[in-house]
């Protein structure tokens, strides 16, 4: 189908974009990579009267190291995440996850900020950002503020963003050297959303797990940070009984819908399978 008519705006600065969004009100939508919004517009599920395109704002792109954090601009593409030397050295799970998003054509244009900001529970980056303890930098009509990824998602397509707000960057703590990591994703075909997916980041010292974090994708109306499950791994050798307990705790917080990807019970069990696989692969990579 063909989208409805709209006015197109291409501001040059974040301040101009915020002012436009504030002026235009609820009839305006942000356009980043467009891979979430444009399909909705083609089916008339979204019919904004104004599109505010962020692609002309140069300082919304880039990947930099700032002390013990990596800072990623919101308009950085998935392809740029995959090819970043800084991420390969410091947080390689980001590129690993990006490679599993959609297909190469979408990864060339799809933006990191769009993936984390629109509140789609099927997007892969939100659960990973929760797993990594990321913080979102937001500019809006009332100034700038930071919101932790773990506090950002309130429901399906419902986030901490207010109208006029723009996610400008994401700050991610650099995990300890030698950490183990894995993102496991079950999907029906290339380009599909996950039936279930899990991000796991751990550290090991002397054969014992000293820290762990687990994020879950597309098994609830929001991404999930499985903090209780992760805590069950800390202090253990990641033996079968400990991993079994963590898998059970992760499954317990899921609430997936029954849909074309399978019944809810199946998707819950697949979330557990993804946690188990990701934990095993993270352990194999840990150099503690």
**Greater pLDDT, 108 or 97:** 97
Among residues 84, 78, 163, the alpha carbon closest in space to that of 112 is found at 78
153 closest CA partner among 111, 117, 115, 113: 117
On the question of pLDDT at 101 being above 70, the answer is yes
The answer, yes or no, to whether residue 124 has pLDDT greater than 80, is yes
Model confidence band, residue 36 (pLDDT cutoffs 50, 70, 90): confident
Least confident of 35-44, 234-243, 258-267: 35-44
CA distance 285 to 200: 11
Cβ proximity of 208 and 237 under 8 Å: yes
Please report the pLDDT score of residue 233 as a whole number. 98
Q: What string of H, E and C letters represents the secondary structure of the chain?
A: CCCCCCEEECCCCHHHHHHHHHHHHHHEEEECCCCCHHHHHHCCCCCCCEEEECCCCHHHCCEEEECCEEEEECCCEHHHHHCCHHHHHHCHHHHHHHCCCCCHHHHHHCEHHHHHHCCCCCCCHHHHHHHHCCEEEEEECCEEEEEEHHHCEEECCEECCCCCCEEEEEEEECCCCCCEEEEEEECCCCCCCCCEEEEEEEEEECCEEEEEEEEEECCCCCCEECHHHHHCCCCCCCCHHHHHHHHHHHHHCCCCCCECCECHHHHHHHHHHHHHHHHHHHHHHCCC
What pLDDT shows up at residue 223? 98
pTM of the predicted protein model: 0.95
Q: What is the pLDDT of residues 67-91, one digit of tens each?
A: 999 999 999 999 999 999 999 999 9
Structure tokens at 146: 């930071």
Decide if 166 contacts 69 (C-beta within 8 A).
Answer: no
C-alpha 194 chain-centroid distance: 13
Q: Give the gyration radius of the chain's Cα atoms.
A: 19
Local confidence band at 47 (pLDDT 50, 70, 90 cut-offs): confident
Band of pLDDT at residue 150, cut at 50, 70 and 90: very high
Please tell me the predicted confidence (pLDDT) of residue 3.
77
Most confident residue range from 43-47, 85-89, 100-104: 85-89
Inform me whether the pLDDT recorded for 45 exceeds 70.
no
pLDDT band at 109 (very low <50, low <70, confident <90, very high): confident
Res. 105 pLDDT band, cuts 50 70 90: confident
- Return the pLDDT at 255: 98
Mean pLDDT to the nearest integer, 6-34? 92
Q: Which domains does the chain have, with CATH numbers?
A: 7-52 (3.30.43.10), 61-173 (3.30.465.10), 180-285 (3.30.390.50)
pLDDT tens digits for 172-227? 999 999 999 999 999 999 889 999 999 999 999 999 999 999 999 999 999 999 99
Q: Is the pLDDT of residue 146 over 80?
A: yes
pLDDT at 1: 65
Average confidence score pLDDT of the chain? 94
């Amino acid at each position: 189908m063909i989208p409805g008519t709209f006015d197109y705006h291409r501001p040059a600065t974040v301040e101009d974009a915020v002012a436009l969004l504030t002026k235009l009100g609820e009839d305006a939508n942000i356009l980043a990579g467009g891979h979430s919004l444009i399909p909705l517009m083609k089916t008339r599920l979204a019919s904004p009267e104004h599109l505010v395109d962020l692609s002309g704002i140069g300082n919304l792109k880039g990947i930099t190291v700032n002390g013990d954090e990596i800072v990623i601009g919101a308009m950085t593409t998935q392809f740029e995440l995959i090819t970043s030397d800084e991420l390969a050295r410091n947080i390689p799970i980001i590129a690993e996850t990006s490679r599993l998003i959609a297909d190469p054509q979408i990864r060339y244009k799809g933006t990191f900020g769009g993936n984390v900001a629109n509140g789609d529970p099927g997007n892969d980056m939100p659960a990973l950002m929760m797993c990594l303890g990321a913080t979102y930098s937001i500019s809006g009509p009332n100034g700038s503020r930071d919101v932790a990824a773990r506090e950002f998602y309130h429901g399906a397509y419902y986030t901490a963003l207010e109208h006029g707000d723009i996610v400008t960057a994401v700050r991610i703590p650099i995990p300890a050297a030698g950490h183990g990591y894995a993102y496991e994703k079950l999907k029906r075909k290339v380009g599909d959303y996950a039936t279930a997916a899990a991000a796991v980041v751990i550290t090991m010292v002397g054969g014992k797990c000293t820290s762990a974090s687990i994020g879950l994708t597309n098994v609830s109306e929001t991404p999930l940070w499985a903090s209780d499950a992760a805590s069950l791994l800390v202090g253990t050798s990641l033996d079968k009984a400990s991993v079994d307990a963590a898998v059970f705790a992760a499954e317990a917080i899921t609430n997936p819908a029954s849909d074309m990807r399978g019944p809810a019970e199946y998707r819950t069990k697949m979330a557990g399978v993804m946690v188990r696989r990701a934990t095993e692969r993270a352990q194999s990579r840990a150099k503690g």
